[in-house]
Structure 1
Amino acid sequence: MIGNFSFTRALPLLLTALLLPAWSMAQTAAQSATVARIPLLDQPALQSAKAPRSVLLAVTRAGERLVAVGERGIVLLSDDSGASWRQAKVPASVSLTSVQFVDAEYGWAVGHLGVVLHSTDGGETWSKQLDGIQAAQLALAAAQQSGDERLLKGAEWLVADGPDKPFLDLYFSDRRHGYIVGAYGLILRTTDGGASWQSWMGQVENPEGLNLYAIDAQGGELFIAGERGLLLRSSDAGQSFQALASPYEGSFFGLLSSRSGGLLAYGLRGNAWWSSDRGDSWQQLDTGLESALAAGIELADGSLLLASQSGELLLSDDSGRHFEHRRTHEGATVAAVEQAADGSLTSVGLGGLSARQEIQAAARP
């Protein structure tokens, strides 16, 4: 145990921060136990015709291309707005939980065993920049330099625990500057595109080492959402993160910033909170849902879409002040949603990719 993190409380994040079923916990434990015998961090992802139906946890845009990532290092690419997909070459076989591209070429993906992957060709090929062993060593070096006994104790535990350090989200502002966040309060920063990383745990007001589930930017500031209602804000270009007064004691699994200037934090039991003043105050939104909210995006027309893990869709046409319930995305377990270049929507989840027509029909009357 580190801080107040335990294996039991790890269920929402071991495969993703989205409350996936318990079998994912067993998969992660098996990965950790066998890493000494099967070098998953250096074992290329298996090419498989079943990849589009495998567990997928995140999807994003790289220019006009769609990029989806998931279990066993699977990365899928689509150049026709989700009509067809092909598998990319990936040097690791661990579950990938989040992916971001800053343009059509440069992107990063993070996941289990502390893996950080980087692509410079739109996701066609990937290289490994970091793993959990290296991340723990970086945390230890930073803690030793700081002289902070709390940080030092936690970092020593990270080193002793081995490579199983799930990263859960990332944010890059450009090709050089980015952050990755994850379990055990892990946060690392790069200023050279991932060629080198710095542990940033000492710059974050998170004394209990709560899990960090999401990171996003809004209006020149950075925000982090996490376990037990944790909300953090950086107003100094990421040099430090201070805790905000939280309106909610449950976990936040995602952040959504809108072009209108608002910020949405969402998580367990349909909870969603809106802030229009940089996180100083929050208004609870009536979602009418009991299941966890798993994904949120801003569409091209400025409307906001939220999806629950059960496939329920909520749409806001008033910059997030109110959300209307749309038809349930039948038969889908949603982990992420993205809008393609042609305006269609693609979702990913336990069953892999969902048909564009299904999610599009569910999102709109």
Structure 2
Amino acid sequence: MMVKLLSSVAALLLTTHIHAESAVVPTPSFLMPLAEKAVLTDLIRVNEQLFVAVGDRGHLLVSTDSISWKQIQSPVQSLLTSVYFSDDKHGWAVGHDATIIATQDGGQSWQLQQFKPETDKPLFDVLFVDSSHGIALGAYGMFYRTTDGGKTWSDEFHLELVGSEDREYLKELQETDPDAYLDERASVLPHFNRIYQHSNVLYMIGESGFFATSSDFGKSWTRHPEFYNGSLFGLAMTAKNTLIAAGLRGNVFRSTDLGQSWQEVQLNQTATLNSVLTDAADHVYLTGNAGTLLVSRDDGLSFEPVETKDSKAILNAVAVKEQLVLVTEAGIRTLALKKPE
């Protein structure tokens, strides 16, 4: 349906420079009167007075109070799956057609940086460490890097992220049949669903229990043993430095040693979980399909349901004072949080 519903030093690091130009010219998004009720997939709280949400048909919405939203024209109509800001002014959004768009004025205008419909692959997440250095990733191990704020993007392949059985095969193929090697390389990696940074460490999760970490902003990676055989979509660190990962069929895991070991958290529901977030009170929230919203008040040891108004899938949320602002398959929703009795 949408990205969140779809589902070492590098032995080899191949880089091909990709420029923003594409043979196919994208069509800008339409300004729609009900854009805030359309399918929205991600949002970010940039600061106290700026919120940005993205979604289907290239929709971009901004708000100064998380209540009233204004649509901003996007240079594409592709489904946008993730949005990230490095500061109050500089932001990026990624999505289908390997699309990358950017803003330098706090979301008031957006420029195309990459559009590659010929790949037939979506980007799922984007992360910047500052206004120049960023990473975008997605289906079948797509991995792009920029060092100039997105003026140019480089396509990277990290052999250390390939499973051990396929790694030797790829090395041999590279020597014996370079063309076949490039074909295999394009599909040998799992989908990269989420990249998350805490301190100086990057955490990446994906399809089939994929989990990897990097301490040099993704120049080299360590792929860790799978602790779950299904896809993972959400990841966040709690105030007590506990990692919470969530994914298909209501599976949730927590790690108190920065991902070295994981323990399963038992839930009484099986809806796919799309994101993990925290609030100022150190509560942990899980959003999911079928209107699923769960909260933990004990650092992720247990979760209880939060009543929502309908069964629309919740893709992500941000906590704002005593409420959650949700992006759902039916647009933006605001949910007042009840204090525990």
User: Residue 232 in 1 paired to residue 188 in 2?
Assistant: no
TM-score (norm 1): 0.78
- Does 2:240 correspond to 1:260? yes
SS of 2:92 mapped into structure 1? strand
Task: Name the SS of the counterpart of 2:216 in structure 1.
Answer: coil
* Alignment of 1:318 onto 2:304: no
Corresponding position of 1:182: 138
Match of 2:152 among 189, 196, 204: 196
**What is the distance in 1 between the residues matched to 2:299 and 2:3?**
27
The letter of the residue matching 1:346 is V
In structure 2, do the counterparts of structure 1 residues 236 and 103 end up closer, same or farther at CA, with 3 Å as the change threshold?
A: closer
Q: Which residue of 2 aligns with 1:53?
A: 37
Partner of 1:346 in structure 2? Answer: 325
> Of 186, 194, 200, which aligns to 1:214?
194
54 and 364 in structure 1: CA distance in 2 versus 1, 3 angstrom threshold: farther
- 1:130-151 deviations in whole A, cap 9, x for unaligned? 1226xxxxxxxxxxxxxxxxxx
Matched residue type, 1:270: G
Is this contact kept in 2: 1:181–1:213, CA < 8 A?
yes
Alignment check: 8 A CA contact 1:16 1:168 kept: yes
Question: Which residue pairs with 2:59 in the alignment?
Answer: 74
CA distance in 2, matches of 1:183, 1:218: 23
> 8 Å contact 2:245–2:276 — kept in the other structure?
no
Q: Give the letter aligned to residue 188 of structure 1.
A: Y
State the Cα distance separating 1:351 from its structure 2 match.
Answer: 0.7
Matched residue type, 2:197: A
Q: Which amino acid in structure 2 is aligned with residue 254 of structure 1?
A: G
1:294–1:336: 8 Å Cα contact kept in structure 2? yes
Q: Label 1:295 to 1:228 Cα distance change in 2 as closer, same or farther (>3 A).
A: same
* One-letter identity of the residue aligned with 1:223: Y
Unaligned stretches of 5+ residues in structure 2: 8-21, 164-187
Question: Is the contact made by 2:288 and 2:314 (CA closer than 8 Å) also made in structure 1?
Answer: yes
Looking at structure 2, the residues matched to 343 and 79 of structure 1 have their Cα atoms a distance apart, in angstroms, of 17
**Who is 1:278 aligned against?**
258
SS at match of 1:113: coil
Name the SS of the counterpart of 1:337 in structure 2.
Answer: strand
Bigger helix share = 1
Cα distance, 1:295 vs structure 2:
1.8
Deviation at 1:235, TM superposition (A): 2.6
Residue of structure 2 in register with 1:250 after alignment: 230
Regions of 4+ moved over 3 Å: 361-365
Q: Work out which of the residue numbers 264, 267, 281 in structure 2 matches 1:301.
A: 281
Residues 363, 225 of structure 1: alpha-carbon distance in 2 compared, 3 angstrom cutoff: farther
Aligned to 1:31: none
Distance 1:364 1:306 in 2: 17
Q: Distance in 1 between matches of 2:311 and 2:290?
A: 8
Q: Equivalent of 1:241, from 214, 221, 230?
A: 221
Cα deviation for residue 124 of structure 1 reads 1.0
State the AA in 2 paired with 1:253: F
- Cα shift at 1:362: 7.1
1:129 aligns with 2:77: no
1:63 is aligned to 2:43:
no
Distance 1:101 1:71 in 2: 19
Partner of 2:12: none
Q: Which amino acid aligns with 2:189?
A: G
Aligned length: 302
Structure 2 equivalent of residue 118 of structure 1: 102
Residue 288 in 1 paired to residue 244 in 2?
A: no
| Contact map agreement 2:40 2:328 (CA 8 A) in 1 | yes
Q: Structure 1 residue 186: deviation in Å?
A: 0.5
- Tell me the alpha carbon deviations over residues 54-103 of structure 1, each in whole angstroms, 9 at most, x when there is no partner: 1111111121211110111100111122x211101211111100001122
Partner residue, 1:17: 4
TM-score computed with the length of structure 2 as normaliser: 0.83
After superposition, the Cα gap between the structure-2 partners of 1:176 and 1:312, relative to the gap in structure 1 and judged at 3 Å, is same
Percent identical among aligned pairs is 34
Give deviations 1:252-289, integer Å, cap 9, x for gaps.
11211223212111100100111111211001111222
Q: Residue 352 and residue 362 in structure 1: after superposition, are their counterparts in 2 closer, same or farther (change >3 A)? A: farther
Pick one of 31, 39, 44 that aligns with 2:28: 44
Q: Work out the CA distance in 2 between the residues paired with 1:335 and 1:95.
A: 14
Q: Residues 288 and 109 (structure 1 numbering): CA distance in 2 closer, same or farther, change over 3 Å?
A: same
By how many angstroms is 1:343 displaced? 4.4
Structure-2 separation of matches of 1:352 and 1:235: 36
1:156 corresponding residue in structure 2 = none
Partner of residue 136, structure 1? none
SS at match of 2:36: helix
Deviation at 1:339?
A: 2.0
How far is the alpha carbon of 1:170 from its aligned partner? 1.3
| Residues in 1 aligned to 2:305 and 2:319: alpha-carbon distance in whole angstroms | 19
CA-CA distance at 1:19 after TM superposition: 3.8
SS where residue 225 of structure 1 aligns?
strand
Amino acid at match of 2:72: A
In terms of mean alpha carbon deviation, does 108-117 or 255-264 score higher? 255-264
